[in-house]
């Protein structure tokens, strides 16, 4: 696994500056100049820079940014749908489980790596439209009441799944499917340890309900790109905490 990690980290470093979305034109220009001057042999120097990507050049507000943060305080509009949804080429619980293209590709690579470790992962949920989420949430409210439902399910517009960057994962035997005990399965443990190597983070960690607004969901992973996933994973913090995006 160490060798694998090193390979992935070097891929991550090569990718520095190219996947970071920014609306600051001057910084973009600087990045472009740097990229054009970089040769393969000098890219490794980027290691320090990747540690230093300041949060202010990441775009948490643009719905199309892979770094967008959606939570109970930051919602998506009813009509938002990503433009680049594709069907991930992985095992899925139903025929259609679309995700944004970049996330779908990363998911495929993660599933392939997990398979090499003997795990049979399955995508349980990817993109969900506003109206689908509304139906889901209304059902939970009818069953458990609104307050209880909102601890484990998002109101429409507040679901990360509407970004096309979130994935609920399980295994094909459906053991502990969307249940807390998934954390103790081999797949749950593997994902918690390795998903960042593919650009995903465990979005709703244990004992962070006060921060995220949701109970521990060991099955829910969010794609934020390799560089940021590495940094967030290393920090042990939630997205809200790591980026100081609490209000
Ligand atoms: Zn989810």
Both tokens of residue 67?
Answer: 């770094």
pLDDT, residue 39, reads 47
Q: How many CB atoms lie within 10 A of CB 48?
A: 7
Separation CA 13–CA 45 (nearest Å)? 9
pLDDT of residue 2 exceeding 50, the answer is no
Maximum pairwise Cα distance, the chain: 59
CA torsion, ordered 170, 171, 177, 180, to nearest 10 deg: -70
Separation CA 236–CA 180 (nearest Å)? 19
Rounded to the nearest angstrom, the distance between the alpha carbon of 23 and the centre of ligand 1 is 29
Confidence of residue 247 (pLDDT cuts 50, 70, 90): confident
Domain with CATH 3.30.1380.10 in the chain: 62-128+157-242
Rounded to the nearest angstrom, the distance between the alpha carbon of 58 and the centre of ligand 1 is 23
Rounded to the nearest angstrom, the distance between the alpha carbon of 161 and the centre of ligand 1 is 6
Catalytic-residue membership of 217: yes
Rounded to the nearest angstrom, the distance between the alpha carbon of 203 and the centre of ligand 1 is 9
The active-site residue, picked from 47, 147, 217, 234, is 217
Angle at which helices 2-14 and 226-235 pack, to 10 degrees?
Answer: 120
- Tell me, yes or no, if the pTM score tops 0.85: no
- Mean per-residue pLDDT of the chain: 85
- The answer to whether 181 and 168 have CB atoms below 8 angstroms apart is no
Rounded to the nearest angstrom, the distance between the alpha carbon of 168 and the centre of ligand 1 is 5
Rounded to the nearest angstrom, the distance between the alpha carbon of 220 and the centre of ligand 1 is 5
- Per the model's pLDDT, the better-predicted residue between 39 and 131 turns out to be 131
Q: Which fold has domain 62-128+157-242?
A: Muramoyl-pentapeptide Carboxypeptidase; domain 2 (3.30.1380)
* Residues 167-223: tens digit of each pLDDT: 999 999 999 999 999 999 999 999 999 999 999 999 999 999 999 999 999 999 999
* Residues 82-104: tens digit of each pLDDT: 999 999 999 999 999 999 999 99
Rounded to the nearest angstrom, the distance between the alpha carbon of 125 and the centre of ligand 1 is 7
Residue whose token pair is 């794609």: 223
Separation CA 29–CA 35 (nearest Å)? 10
Residue (of 85, 108, 247, 50) closest to 164 by Cα position: 85
* The dihedral sign for the CA sequence 235, 236, 241, 243: positive
pLDDT of residue 69 exceeding 90, the answer is yes
* Residues 163-176: tens digit of each pLDDT: 999 999 999 999 99
pLDDT, residue 52, reads 55
Separation CA 213–CA 210 (nearest Å)? 6
Taking a 5 Å cut-off on Cβ, the residues next to ion ligand 1 are: 168, 220
């Amino acid at each position: 696994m160490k060798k694998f990690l090193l390979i992935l980290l070097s891929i991550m470093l090569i990718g520095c500056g190219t996947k970071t979305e920014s609306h600051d034109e001057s910084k973009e220009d600087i990045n472009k100049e740097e990229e054009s001057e970089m040769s393969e042999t000098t890219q490794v120097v980027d290691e320090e820079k990747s540690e230093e990507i300041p949060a202010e050049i990441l775009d948490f507000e643009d719905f199309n940014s892979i770094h967008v943060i959606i939570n109970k305080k930051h919602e998506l509009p009813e009509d938002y749908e990503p433009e680049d949804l594709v069907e991930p080429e992985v095992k899925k619980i139903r025929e259609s489980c679309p995700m944004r293209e970049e996330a779908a590709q990363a998911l495929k690579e993660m599933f392939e790596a997990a398979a090499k470790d003997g795990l049979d992962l399955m995508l349980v949920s990817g993109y969900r439209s506003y109206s689908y989420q509304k139906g889901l949430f209304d059902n939970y409210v009818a069953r458990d009441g609104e307050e209880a439902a909102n601890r484990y399910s998002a109101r429409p517009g507040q679901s990360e799944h509407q970004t096309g960057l979130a994935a609920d994962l399980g295994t094909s035997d459906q053991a502990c499917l969307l249940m807390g005990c998934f954390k103790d399965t081999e797949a749950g443990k593997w994902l918690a340890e390795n998903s960042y190597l593919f650009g995903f983070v465990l979005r709703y960690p244990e004992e962070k309900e006060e921060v995220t607004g949701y109970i521990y969901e060991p099955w829910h992973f969010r794609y934020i790109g390799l560089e940021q996933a590495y940094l967030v994973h290393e920090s042990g913090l939630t997205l809200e905490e790591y980026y100081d995006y609490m209000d």
